[in-house]
Amino acid sequence: MLSEPTSNDSGSKSMSDCIFCKIIKGEIPCQAVYEDDLIFAFDDINPQAPVHTLIIPKQHYVSLKDIPEEKMGFISHLMSTARDIAEKKGISESGFRIVLNTGRDSGQDVFHIHFHLLGGRRMSWPPG
């Protein structure tokens, strides 16, 4: 588990120890699913469902609470891309879940905002 950053710079700079920043830069291999100027998506190496894809912004933000209001526009693009990935992976019709954890108590253990796209099996509720 990576330690939560202690700086309060709104996550505006990449952290040298951030595993997701290293994946985006190609320093750590992954099974890439999608990439454009704003976001990157790849399959989780520890999947919690038959389909488990992580979708992350290329810009480093610690969590949802650290994204400046003027930068929130990419969230819409990210959700649209999640919908497209679900279609591509064959789970669009049966259903899928998108999860965003914010902070330690939510289960966030990589402190670079990331969305989990999960599907391919029946999900239970409550999730935690």
Domain ranges of the chain: 19-119
Tell me which residue of 59, 54, 53 sits closest to 25, measured CA to CA: 59
Phi, psi at 33, each rounded to 5°: -115, -35
**Which residues are annotated as catalytic?**
114
Q: State which amino acid sits at residue 121.
A: R
Q: State which amino acid sits at residue 2.
A: L
Given a cut of 60, whether residue 113 has pLDDT beyond it is yes
Give CA torsion, residues 15, 23, 79, 6, to 10 deg. -20
CATH class of 19-119: alpha beta
Q: If you average pLDDT over residues 17-44, what whole number do you get?
A: 96
pTM over cut 0.85: yes
Find all residues with CB under 8 Å of 68, minimum gap 6, and list them.
10
Mean pLDDT of the chain: 89
Q: If you average pLDDT over residues 41-54, what whole number do you get?
A: 97
